[in-house]
Structure 1
């Protein structure tokens, strides 16, 4: 077993895909993990395998009261966290019969709400952690801007704008923030074109966690076949 990158980690969106792979890889490295997500056979199998090292939660984090309850349970269980990983690529709690035109807006708006709630609820836990950091992973779906995309991005209509607005506040408490997202056409992170790759959930998780100790402000993740990383609700 490798030495853990970080000791106590809260991973959201962990029922399948990339979130599940991140939780699994962290457990393999010896971390204590809280995995929030809709109940799934894969997540239950992970709990059966790793027992006391994994706390499984079923909360709708887009609801502020449920996000606060999740944080209280984590405090009671681990005492604090060293890292919050917000896997904001899709949404576990959209209704399965959501019509296609409303699906992507639902993904964006629910992730904006869930991310804001998690950041607020997790900050007291992070302040008590060791070298605390937040890692946010966005997909091409969730990085979209809603409500008049021609207008300026704001925390209430853009997930990237939400995290940008929180960076200074987190930094004031010595909490580093890394945002992993597709290349923005409006504000490119790197000056060259990034070619999309055929990532699997496991290969993406391995690379993301490899770069976690670097604490870079931004990382670019361009993926082909994004459903393998962030399965859409069925």
Structure 2
């Protein structure tokens, strides 16, 4: 791992797809990683392989107390963070059999809550880190606006706006913000057309980690098959 890449990470949505692959690749590169998400066999196996560098944080981050306890475990283990990766593509805690319309509303709502709680509780740890960075990664599911799309985007109806609204405050604290999302028609991240690509979790994770040291404000991730990166609950 390059010396310019952060060493202590907190990754949410880490039990499958892109989140899990980010954890795997960061560990392969020598990072210390706190992984939030439902416990699964893949994470348990990684814990056996990297017992000193992987911290599993089980629990639903939409609950404020769970996020507080997760941050406390990180503080007790490492004392600081260099990077918070909010992988807000889907939701690990949807009830089985949730109808499609309710599923997408739940994905937006849960990611709004979890992202807010993660950021609030990670800030003290990031302020103690070296060149800290917050990274928000969003899918077509989670980047949708909650409620009436004709209404202005706010921190209460858009998880991307929730983070964008914190950009100035983060900058004043020496914390960079990178938002990775599909291209928005209302708020385009780049004037250059971006084609849909057949990303896999591995290729997308590799591309993201290669770009993070550059600390771009925005990156566009257009995935042809969303389920390859953010599997929906079955």
Shorter-chain TM-score: what band?
over 0.9
Give per-residue Cα distances to partners, 1:151-188, cap 9 Å, x unaligned.
Answer: 11111101111111111111110000000000001011
Cα shift at 1:51: 1.3
- Whole-angstrom CA distance in 2 between matches of 1:210 and 1:103: 32
Counterpart of 1:100 in structure 2 is 100
- Per the TM alignment, residue 212 of structure 1 is displaced from its structure 2 partner at its CA by 0.4
Contact in 2 for aligned 1:134/1:175 (Cα 8 Å): yes
Whole-angstrom distance in 2 between the partners of 1:101 and 1:7 = 39
Secondary structure of the residue aligned to 1:155 is coil
1:149 Cα deviation (Å)?
1.1
Distance 2:95 2:121 in 1: 25
- Unmatched 5+ residue regions in structure 1? none
In the TM superposition, what whole-angstrom CA distance separates every residue of 1:120-150 from its partner, at most 9, and x where no partner exists?
A: 0000000001100001100010000011111
Aligned partner of residue 162 in structure 1, secondary structure: helix
Provide the C-alpha distance between the structure 2 equivalents of 1:192 and 1:219, rounded to a whole number of angstroms.
12
- Tell me the SS of whatever aligns to 1:105: helix
Query: Is the CA contact 1:82–1:130 (under 8 Å) kept in the aligned structure 2?
Result: yes
Corresponding position of 2:16: 16
**Does 2:95 align with 1:56?**
no
- In the alignment, what sits opposite 1:179? 179
Offset, 1:192: 2.3
CA distance in 2, matches of 1:171, 1:95: 38
Ranges of 4+ aligned residues in structure 1 off by more than 6 Å: none
Q: After alignment, is 174-183 or 186-195 more displaced?
A: 186-195
Q: Does 1:229 align with 2:219?
A: no
**How far apart are the structure 2 equivalents of 1:50 and 1:185?**
42
Tell me if structure 2 keeps the 8 A contact 1:16–1:43. Answer: no
Q: Displacement, 1:3?
A: 3.9
CA displacement, residues 13-49 of structure 1 (integer Å, 9 cap, x when unaligned) = 0001000111111111100000110011111111111
Instruction: Give the 3-state SS of the residue equivalent to 1:68 in structure 2.
Output: helix
RMSD (Å), alpha carbons: 0.9
Which string of whole-angstrom CA distances, capped at 9 and with x for unpartnered residues, describes residues 56-79 of structure 1?
110211111111111011100111
Contact kept, 8 Å, 1:3 with 1:30, in 2: the verdict is: no
Whole-Å separation in 1 of the counterparts to 2:29 and 2:151: 43
User: Mapping of 1:57-76 within 5 angstroms?
Assistant: 57-76=57-76
- How many pairs are equivalent? 233
**Equivalences for residues 49-198 of structure 1 within 5 A:** 49-198=49-198
Give me the TM-score of the superposition, normalised by structure 2: 0.97
Moved more, 92-101 or 62-71: 92-101
**Which secondary structure does the structure 2 equivalent of 1:148 belong to?**
coil
